[in-house]
Amino acid sequence: MDFLKPALIFTALACLVLSGSFLYVWIAYTRRRYALCWGLSWLAAVPHLACSWVLISAPELHVVQALDQVLLVANAALMVCGCLDFVHGRIPTRTVVLVALPFLTWGVLAPLYATEFSRAQLPNAVLLGGSYLFTAMSFLHLRRTRRTRGSLVIAILFALAGLHEFDYPLFGNLAWATAIGYTLASVLATLIALSLLILILEEARADVEEERARLRGILDALPVGVVMFRRDGSAALDNAMSRTMLGNTATATPTTLQDLAGRLLVPAEAMHRRASHDSPMARTFATGEVCVPEEFALCNPDAIPRAVLVNAGPVHDARAQLLGVVTVLQDVEEWKHIERQMVRSQRLQSLGTLAAGVAHNFNNALTLMLGHAQLARHAADLPSMRSRVESISQIASDSVGIVGRIQSLARSRPAGARAESVVELAALVRDVVELTRPRWLEGAKAEGVHYEVRTELVDGVEIRAQAAELRESVLNLVINALDAMPRGGRLTFEVGIDAGHAVLRLTDDGEGMPAEVRERVFDPFFTTKGARGTGLGLSLVFGVVERLGGEIAVESAPGSGTTFTLRFPLAGSGSAHSAMPEVRAASVARHVLVVEDDPVLRNLTVEMLEQQGHRATPAASGQAALRMLEGSDIDLVFTDLSMPGVTGWDVVSHAARVRPGIPVVLVTGWGQLISPTECAAAVERSAAPIQRAA
């Protein structure tokens, strides 16, 4: 049996190589427990073969025989544990019974008919053969549940190895059978080990693919663009948002670092704040540090530049070597638009607050000026004096209109503070076209200029608004459009419904606006017309649209014309606002209670009422008015709103309690800021200054 020792040496070396391969795969590629169990199983086979070497020369050494049995148990147990871990669970009981039945049969019958050699080798055969057959059944079960490639081949190899172990007690004492058996065992062991290695690597690759798919899903779900660049500047990976932002398709060539850096432009307003104009990616490659987010204008072919925040960070390998740079692109164009709207709204709100205060004070002065002028006009004897007084009165009356335009900047008025009605947009546009006809038709012809006005109107589109206010806003847009086409052109009106909103669109094919003008077009006092413009037209339009709960947007580029798009809630989407009743001239003499804390205004109002044939009783404060309302014959209350202590609202409430039904007139310079619901107890509201009826 000289061939046995070389065969044992060859088999032991093969087991060492296989064990080392499994353990290396476990350490380097996967930390799964089955790889460790299989590696230790093949490692336990090496001392088992060493014991077999010793027993060839000294079969009577019982200690070596016992150690050999322990190593066989360890080899089989580790193999079975690895298989159970690989199949993620336990083998069905029916399968265990089918595998165990041949073992039991062999264990009962073999001692009765086998030789002494067979009986000595029977435990080894049962243990190893049973473990191999159990492993084969495990991989067959795995093939049905997980469809792992190669599992059938491994199951067949394990089954052959198990059956081969069962024949050893019968033929192991035959020289020719032993030589063939050891050769077959070595070949089967090598094939099994290689198949298991391939299976482990396949499992590891599947894990990597699954992790890669999970990472791809996470990256594509991000609302920001992510691009990783290698050290040579080529793109290693990107996500769906980055492809959208950079104008690439899913199959397009990835953007290079140089391409992206060339598309990022530093905004002009940020040039003086940047210490370096290099791209964040270049700085990260140079320093290896994370760059703070910076704003750039991302320029794509055939697209309008968009504001983006760009930051970059290094990517290192396990040895802290720089692999590349990951770049994050965040589109902030919407944020910038919202920020500009907020700034514009705050600016207009501040201006409106200032304008409202100025208008209120100016109204008080106009009340005195206009009242005294009207009284003087009726008292004047000389025609020349009457003419001068009438001039003063006319100037004061014109100033009232100026105050009204200033008050239109006070954009903090609630919606209910306006006398609104249902306005049909198509009809309003037709009115504006007719109103401006002298400008774009007759006047233009006189100057040798031709304008083409087109209307694409959908009838029945209704919103809630002040018709005059909205008409003036559209007029402002038309005038601006005509001014933008000094050599003539086309002006198009469109009215329709989009996404549940009424849409009014005005398009001209004039000179267009650069980006810096487009950004400031709604700012108060900003104008490109020089001395011909006030800079208030479009800011007033913006204020009107916003007060109506709508939105206004402008699209323009140099040489491409301009489009203003106005969006409003439809009339049916909001509650109706009742109009304020107009002040009516009294037809019969009344007893009027005049409540005013300013003595000059109080006396002036009393005098004007008395000239109209009424009896006027002055009250210097709201407290005095409350007393006079008790048990008096007053027919009408004429009260200022803003008074110290007891205000005009208190007078209204008290009059409603003690004199139900008595008319109350509120006199205030803030009349446009008061809603009809607040005036429910007052039948009239009069905006200062008060003018005497002619």
Give mean pLDDT, residues 437-453.
Answer: 86
The first and second tokens of residue 347, run together, are 């600016």
Is the per-residue pLDDT at 229 higher than 80? Answer: yes
Q: What's the alpha-carbon Rg for the chain, to the nearest Å?
A: 48
pLDDT digits over 511-567, tens only?
888 887 887 777 766 666 654 555 567 877 888 888 888 999 999 888 889 999 999
The first and second tokens of residue 643, run together, are 């008074």
Number of neighbouring beta carbons within 10 Å of residue 321? 8
Q: Which of 394, 397, 478, 393 is nearest to 433 (CA)?
A: 478
Q: Are 27 and 48 in contact (CB under 8 A)?
A: no
Of the candidate ranges 136-150, 208-222, 626-640, the one whose mean pLDDT is the lowest:
136-150
The torsion angle over the Cα atoms of residues 375, 379, 382 and 384, rounded to 10 degrees, is 0
Q: So what's the pLDDT on residue 564?
A: 94
Is the per-residue pLDDT at 56 higher than 80? Answer: no
- Give the best-scoring range by mean pLDDT among 35-44, 368-377, 571-580: 35-44
Q: Are 462 and 496 in contact (CB under 8 A)?
A: no
CA distance 553 to 608: 49
Give mean pLDDT, residues 432-438.
Answer: 86
How far the first Cα of the chain sits from its last, in Å, is 142
* Per-residue confidence band for 589, with pLDDT thresholds at 50, 70 and 90: confident
pLDDT cut 70: percent of the chain above it? 68
pLDDT digits over 73-99, tens only?
788 778 778 877 776 655 566 766 665
When the pLDDT of each residue in the chain is averaged and rounded to a whole number, the result is 76
* Per-residue confidence band for 502, with pLDDT thresholds at 50, 70 and 90: very high
| Cβ-proximal residues to 309 (8 Å cutoff; 6+ apart), any chain | 293, 294, 295, 296, 329, 330, 332
Q: So what's the pLDDT on residue 288?
A: 86
pLDDT digits over 521-531, tens only?
777 666 666 54
Is the per-residue pLDDT at 580 higher than 50? Answer: no
Which is more confident, 469 or 426? 426
Q: So what's the pLDDT on residue 415?
A: 43
What are the φ/ψ torsions at residue 138 (nearest 5 degrees)? Answer: -60, -45
Give mean pLDDT, residues 175-190.
Answer: 71
pTM: 0.46
Q: So what's the pLDDT on residue 118?
A: 55
Our CA angle for 650, 654, 657, nearest 5°, is 145
pLDDT cut 90: percent of the chain above it? 12
Q: So what's the pLDDT on residue 341?
A: 72
Q: So what's the pLDDT on residue 411?
A: 46
pLDDT digits over 344-357, tens only?
666 666 666 666 65
The first and second tokens of residue 633, run together, are 């014959």
Q: So what's the pLDDT on residue 496?
A: 95
CA distance 674 to 413: 8
The first and second tokens of residue 678, run together, are 């607040």
Is the per-residue pLDDT at 237 higher than 90? Answer: no
CA distance 259 to 238: 14
Q: Which of 328, 351, 478, 331 is nearest to 407 (CA)?
A: 351
CA distance 467 to 45: 98
Question: Could you identify the residue written with the tokens 């490659």?
Answer: 285
Q: So what's the pLDDT on residue 685?
A: 46
Q: So what's the pLDDT on residue 531?
A: 47
